[in-house]
Amino acid sequence: MSCKTLAQKLVVILLIALALAGCSAFARSTPEALPTVMLDSSATTSDTSGTTSTGLSVSGSGVVASGVIVPAQEAQLAFALSGELETVEVAVGERVEAGQVLARLAGAEQLQAALSVVELEVRVAQQALQKLSDDLPEEQAAALQAYTEARDAVRDAQRVINGFNISSEPIDIQVASSNLALAERALEQAKKDFKPYEKKPESNFKRAALLSKLSDAQKRYDNALKQYNRLTGVIVPEFDYQQAQYELEIANARLKLAQDKLELLKGGPAPDELALALARVETAQDRADAARASLLNLELKAPFDGTVSKVNFQGQEWVTPGQTVVELVDLEHLRVETTDLSERDVPKIRVGQPVSVFIDALNQDVPGKVILIAPTADTLGGDVVYKTTVDLDTPLPDLRAGMSAEVSFDTGE
C-alpha cells in the first residue's frame, strides 16, 4: 500500500470519527433548556399576570382564590344532661326538620313526677300571695303587681345581656332551645289567660294585669328566639346589644319607681309578709322552670332543617354533657369558603362584593357575592390567609359539599 493511499484512509477514518463525535454532542444538547429566573424587589408581591406568595393567582382585573363548597349551617348536637340514651330516632342521610326529635335520654317519667310536685308548690304559693293581695286596697294591689312585673323584667333583661357573651357550643344551643320552648309555652298560656278578658273595659284591673303578663311573655319569647338564632348562626348586630343594655336600664328604673310607690302605700299585710310570699312564688317558679328545662333537655332536637351526617351513639349507651350524639348539616344551602386569600389581597375585598365562582367538577361558572370576611387569620404554608365566605346567587342541582372551586374577585384593577 502506498503512502498516498494510507494517508487517504486515515483522512476518511478521521472524518468519520469527527462526524460521530458531532452527533454525540448534538444528542447531549437536545434536552429542554432551563428557564431563566429573574429576581427583583417585587418577587413577593402580586403582578398583573403571575401568582402571589401563597399560590393565589392574580389577573389584570382582580384576584382569584381557591375555595371549597361547604354547608351553610353545621351543628354538632349534644345533650345538656348526662344519662342513658333511650332511643336514637334518625339515621345517617335522613332529612329532618327544625324542632324534630333526634334522640331521647331515659328518665322522663321521674322528671315529669318531680315537675308535677313543683307545679303544685307554685299554685300553693300563688294562692297565698293572691290571698294577701285580695286584702289590699286596689291602688296598693296595683303597686304590688307593678313591682312584681318590674322585678321580673330586670331579671329577664339581665339574662339577655348575659346571653351575648355565650359561645356557640352545642350545649349552649340546647339550653337556648329549651329556653325558647319554655318561653313559647308561657306565651301561649298568657294568650289563653287573657282571651276571656280581651273585651273587658281597659279600667278592669284583672284585664290590665293579664295584658301586662301577656306583654312580658311576648318579650321573653322574643328575647329567647333572638338568643337561639344568635347561637345557631344568625349574627347579632351591635345595635341589639346596645338595645339590650338600654332595656336593662329602663327595667331597673321602673323597678325603683315600683319599689318607691309600694313603700308609700304601706298598709294591710305587713311588708315582710308580702316579701316572704313573693319570695316563695319566685322560688317555686324557678324550681318549676328548672324541672321543665331538665325534661326538655331529655330530647335532642334539630335546630334547623338539614341532613343527618353522622350518628355517634346508639340506644342504651351512656352519654355525658357535650358529647356529640348527632351531626347535622344544611345541604340545601351551600356556600363557598376560600382557602388561600392572602393578607396582601384581603384589603381589596369587601362584604357584598360580586364574584364569579367556577366549580371544577361541574365545569360551570355561577355568580355570587361575599357575605363574610374572617376577622382573624389562618396560616397556609407559613403565609397569612383570610377565609372569605361567598353566597351563590343560583343554586346548582349537582353541587355537593366538599367540591373544589375557584373564586374570582373583580377588584376593578
Domain ranges of the chain: 1-31, 57-72+333-410, 75-104+298-330, 105-293
- Inter-CA distances, 12 with 2, 3, 8, 169, Å: 16, 14, 6, 91
Cell 444538547 belongs to 29
At residue 178, the pLDDT reads 65
Distance (Å, rounded) from C-alpha 108 to C-alpha 112? 6
Question: Is-same-fold flag (57-72+333-410; 75-104+298-330)?
Answer: no
Distance (Å, rounded) from C-alpha 281 to C-alpha 131? 13
Backbone angles phi, psi at 399, to 5 degrees: -70, 140
Distance (Å, rounded) from C-alpha 329 to C-alpha 74? 4
Neighbours of 412 (CB within 10 A): 8
Q: What single letter denotes the amino acid at residue 45?
A: T
SS3 category, 29 = coil
At residue 392, the pLDDT reads 92
Backbone angles phi, psi at 30, to 5 degrees: -80, -20
Quick check: 248 and 219 in contact, CB under 8 A? no
Question: The CATH number of 57-72+333-410 is which of 2.40.30.170, 3.40.50.620, 2.60.200.20, 2.40.30.10?
Answer: 2.40.30.170
CA–centroid distance for 294 within its chain: 23
- Name the stretches of the chain with pLDDT < 50: 3-4, 6, 23-60, 166-167, 234-236
Which residues are within 8 A (CB) of 179 and not within 5 positions of it... i.e. 6 or more apart? 224, 227, 228, 293
- Could you write out the DSSP letters of every residue in 362-392? TTEEEEEEEEEE-SS-EEETTEEE--EEEEE
CA–centroid distance for 128 within its chain: 44
Question: The CATH number of 75-104+298-330 is which of 3.40.50.620, 2.102.10.10, 3.90.1150.10, 2.40.50.100?
Answer: 2.40.50.100
What is the grid cell recorded at 203? 279600667
SS3 category, 313 = coil
DSSP type of residue 394: S
At residue 55, the pLDDT reads 40
Element housing 32 (H / E)? none
